[in-house]
């Protein structure tokens, strides 16, 4: 779309919203240097609030919002900020809805520039097993396989509770790419280093 506003890059998000919206923005921002700008077109009704919140969390700046015939345009300037955000996930195939919401939040976190870690414990460890994510797809939500793939590709960490993993009879060869086995000390170290988090 033509515009008189100067931008170093342009991104059309269409109807994408929630975690998917900020993930696309994060990926686009990766290619920009600090101080450069990104012009976004977005039609999602929550784009105003989501992009403003994303900018506050990531140290980027929402320079201005412009009306557009079909939606709105947003001009963002790249800044810098990062801190730790942990998600404790205790469910997988036993509660697909909760597990999917957790991974949606994880995607939003890593897309917001947070050093993000998902800690899989109890039944959650099954999500780190090859093929399990492919079987989870809650109606109205992104497929779990896509959420996990996008999360890992964006630099998100997947830590698996070692005792929970062993209890269920798995071996390291069963793990998906990007997942590692950890103990309690590793989790405590992460969460006591300028971290916040949620549990599902």
Mind listing the pLDDT tens digit for each residue in 172-190?
999 999 999 999 999 999 9
What CATH topology corresponds to 84-199?
Hypothetical Protein Ychn; Chain: A, (3.40.1260)
Mind listing the pLDDT tens digit for each residue in 64-110?
998 776 668 999 999 876 689 999 999 999 999 999 999 999 999 99
Domain 9-77: homologous superfamily in CATH: TusA-like domain (3.30.110.40)
The mean pLDDT of 150-175, rounded to a whole number, is: 96
The mean pLDDT of 151-170, rounded to a whole number, is: 97
Mind listing the pLDDT tens digit for each residue in 109-121?
998 888 999 999 9
Q: Is the pLDDT of residue 147 over 90?
A: yes
CA dihedral 115, 161, 106, 196 (to 10 degrees): -50
What integer pLDDT is reported at residue 70 of this predicted model? 62
- Chain region(s) in the chain for CATH 3.30.110.40: 9-77
Buried b (16+ CB within 10 A) or exposed e, 46-77: ebeebbeebbebbebebeeeeeeeebbbbbbb
């Amino acid at each position: 779309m033509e515009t008189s506003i100067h931008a170093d890059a342009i991104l059309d998000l269409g109807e994408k919203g929630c975690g998917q919206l900020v993930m696309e923005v994060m990926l686009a921002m990766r290619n920009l240097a600090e101080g450069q700008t990104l012009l976004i077109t977005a039609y999602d009704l929550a784009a105003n609030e989501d992009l403003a919140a994303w900018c506050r969390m990531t140290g980027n700046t929402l320079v201005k919002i412009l009306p557009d015939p079909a939606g709105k345009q947003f001009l963002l300037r790249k800044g810098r900020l990062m801190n730790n955000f942990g998600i404790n996930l205790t469910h997988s195939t036993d509660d697909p809805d909760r597990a999917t919401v957790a991974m949606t939040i994880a995607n939003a976190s890593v897309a917001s520039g947070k050093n993000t870690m998902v800690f899989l414990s109890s039944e959650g460890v099954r999500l780190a097993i090859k093929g399990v994510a492919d079987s989870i797809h809650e109606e109205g939500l992104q497929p779990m396989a896509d959420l996990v793939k996008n999360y890992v590709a964006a630099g998100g960490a997947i830590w698996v509770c070692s005792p929970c993993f062993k209890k269920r009879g798995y071996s390291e060869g069963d793990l998906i790419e990007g997942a590692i086995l950890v103990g309690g000390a590793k989790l405590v170290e992460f969460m006591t280093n300028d971290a916040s988090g949620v549990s599902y």
